């Protein structure tokens, strides 16, 4: 039977390139374009292998969290470089329809999944320094899955009790290190130790840690603790080296800082660029009164090398008015809403590695974005991100994810 015209057609000219020349051409592609080229031909599929794609720069994304874990088997991510939204499917490799992303480190993404209807995870072995978990029928056991959505691979970590999933904050660091922090204890998992189990560490903190972060460059965990009274919050910064999670927590304070923790309302920590800076974001109080309204959102930055604070950014007034409801009220010709008048507007803050996003109930379908500058003196770059997909009228949350092939589960 004679072959088709396609079978008789000569191969494209790029097929005649020497392997070194072809590699040189493909290495100039952005990661997103290289991934799209993989199914074009057998040559591209074989050349654009995972080890080859690991040579390309990662794709810095903002990964949005679902307000509910049943998100339809996909997640939405924003590419700041191209100002476009991406859809990351998980159904092709993850046999769990109900999952919630919680943290990332490099190209690895961590998800809470319901492990009651999943393949068995590695057991959490009991020992004096580990904890055993007895799940109940009311709260099915949860497991952390680590995956690379670009490569389509995943692995389950040892199963945890449902309380850790409901009340714990997950932090991920280099080398596959994972921490789960609650009010009284922390769990750590380190693949290189080979134990295959979670290690439990009591927390010697005066209150529940607020917005803990892992500063990869300093290899330490930072968190805010409320040391005030039931009537007035008083925040203090604490830190702990990764190598001393048991008994290593200590306050971070300097006399020269003065009242740096008193000027912000509802402060929150995020990691600064390069893992050697700590960002503290909150509403700028107009006075030191308990019910003082906020005039804008202020971003302070702590340089871990010099241990000095400086002002990294301040939300423009016109942008902040949208979060207070003043823009909506002015467009409708109505009076200023009561929450805006009292200064009790909540702005959700998320991000990491020098990028911060802001969401609020009065700002629908878009986010405010701030990017830390390299020099550190320009106040950063502010902009709006429009076209946030899905999620109804919910308040968005998320974190930075470096999509790529640099690490595998």
Task: Concatenate the DSSP letters of all residues of 182-229 into one string.
Answer: -SSEEEEE-GGG---SPEEEE---SSPPEEEEEETTTTEEEEEEE-SB
Q: Which residue has the higher pLDDT, 339 or 224?
A: 224
The 10s digit of each residue's pLDDT in 274-317 is: 888 999 999 998 777 777 788 999 999 999 999 999 999 999 99
The 10s digit of each residue's pLDDT in 183-234 is: 889 999 998 777 778 999 998 899 999 999 999 888 899 999 999 888 888 8
Residue 317 is predicted with a pLDDT of: 92
pLDDT band at 159 (very low <50, low <70, confident <90, very high): confident
- Rounded Cα distance, 335 and 100, in Å: 39
Residue 341 is predicted with a pLDDT of: 43
State the pTM of this model. 0.85
Residue 371 is predicted with a pLDDT of: 93
Q: Provide the mean pLDDT of the chain.
A: 83
**pLDDT above 90 covers what percent of the chain?**
41
- Rounded Cα distance, 219 and 407, in Å: 19
The vertex-251 CA angle with 247 and 253, nearest 5°, equals 155
Could you tell me the two tokens for 258?
A: 């003065």
3-class DSSP state of 301 = strand
Judge contact between 146 and 103, C-beta under 8 A.
Answer: no
**pLDDT above 70 covers what percent of the chain?**
82
Residue 343 is predicted with a pLDDT of: 44
Q: For residue 185, with 0-12 CB atoms within 10 Å meaning exposed, 13-18 middle and 19 or more buried, which class applies?
A: middle
Helix (H) or strand (E) holding 43: helix 42-47
Residue 279 is predicted with a pLDDT of: 95
Judge contact between 322 and 331, C-beta under 8 A.
Answer: no
Name the most confidently modeled range: 65-79, 147-161, 329-343: 147-161
Residue 395 has pLDDT above 80, yes or no: no
Q: Which residue has the higher pLDDT, 314 or 166?
A: 314
Judge contact between 345 and 294, C-beta under 8 A.
Answer: yes
Residue 178 is predicted with a pLDDT of: 94
Locate all alpha helices (DSSP H) within 122-179, ordered by sequence: 162-167
Residue 129 is predicted with a pLDDT of: 46
- Rounded Cα distance, 270 and 252, in Å: 16
Task: Concatenate the DSSP letters of all residues of 306-367 into one string.
Answer: TTEEEEEEE--HHHHHHHHTHHHHHHHT-PPPHHHHHT----EEEEETTEEEEEETTEEEEE
Q: Which of 15-29, 142-156, 230-244, 390-404 has the lowest mean pLDDT?
A: 390-404
155: number of Cβ within 10 Å? 16
Q: Which residue has the higher pLDDT, 196 or 61?
A: 61
């Amino acid at each position: 039977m004679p072959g088709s015209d396609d079978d008789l057609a000569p191969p494209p000219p790029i097929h005649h390139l020497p392997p070194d020349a072809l590699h040189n051409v493909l290495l100039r592609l952005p990661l997103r374009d290289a991934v799209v080229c993989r199914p074009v031909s057998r040559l591209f599929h074989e050349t654009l292998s995972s080890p080859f794609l690991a040579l390309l720069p990662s794709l810095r994304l903002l990964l949005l969290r679902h307000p509910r874990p049943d998100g339809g088997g996909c997640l939405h991510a924003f590419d700041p470089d191209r100002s476009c939204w991406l859809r990351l499917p998980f159904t092709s490799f993850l046999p769990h329809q109900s999952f919630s992303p919680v943290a990332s480190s490099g190209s690895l993404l961590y998800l809470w999944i319901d492990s009651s209807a999943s393949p068995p995870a590695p057991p959490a072995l009991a020992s004096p320094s580990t904890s055993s978990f007895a799940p109940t029928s009311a709260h099915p056991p949860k497991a952390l899955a680590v995956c690379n959505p670009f490569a389509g691979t995943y692995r389950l970590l040892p199963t945890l009790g449902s309380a850790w999933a409901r009340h714990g904050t997950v932090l991920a660091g280099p080398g596959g290190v994972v921490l789960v922090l609650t009010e009284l204890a922390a769990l750590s998992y380190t693949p290189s130790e080979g134990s295959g189990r979670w290690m439990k560490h009591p927390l010697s903190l005066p209150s529940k840690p607020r917005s803990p972060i892992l500063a990869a460059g300093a290899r330490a965990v930072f968190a805010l603790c409320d040391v005030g009274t039931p009537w007035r919050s008083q925040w203090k910064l604490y830190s702990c080296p990764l190598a001393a999670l048991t008994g290593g927590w200590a306050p971070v304070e300097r006399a020269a800082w003065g009242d740096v923790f008193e000027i912000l309302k509802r402060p929150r920590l995020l990691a600064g660029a390069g893992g050697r800076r700590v960002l503290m974001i909150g509403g700028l109080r107009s006075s030191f009164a308990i019910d003082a309204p906020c005039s804008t959102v202020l971003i302070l930055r702590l340089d871990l090398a010099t241990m000095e604070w400086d002002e990294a950014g301040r939300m423009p007034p016109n942008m902040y008015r949208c979060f207070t409801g003043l823009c909506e009220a002015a467009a409708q010709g109505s009076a200023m809403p009561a929450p805006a008048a009292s200064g009790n507007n909540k702005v959700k803050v998320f991000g990491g590695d020098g990028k911060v996003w802001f969401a609020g109930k009065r700002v629908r379908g878009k986010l405010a974005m701030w990017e830390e500058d390299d020099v550190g003196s320009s106040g950063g770059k502010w902009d709006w991100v429009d076209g946030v997909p899905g999620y109804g009228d919910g308040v968005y949350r998320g974190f930075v994810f470096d999509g790529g092939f640099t690490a595998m589960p």
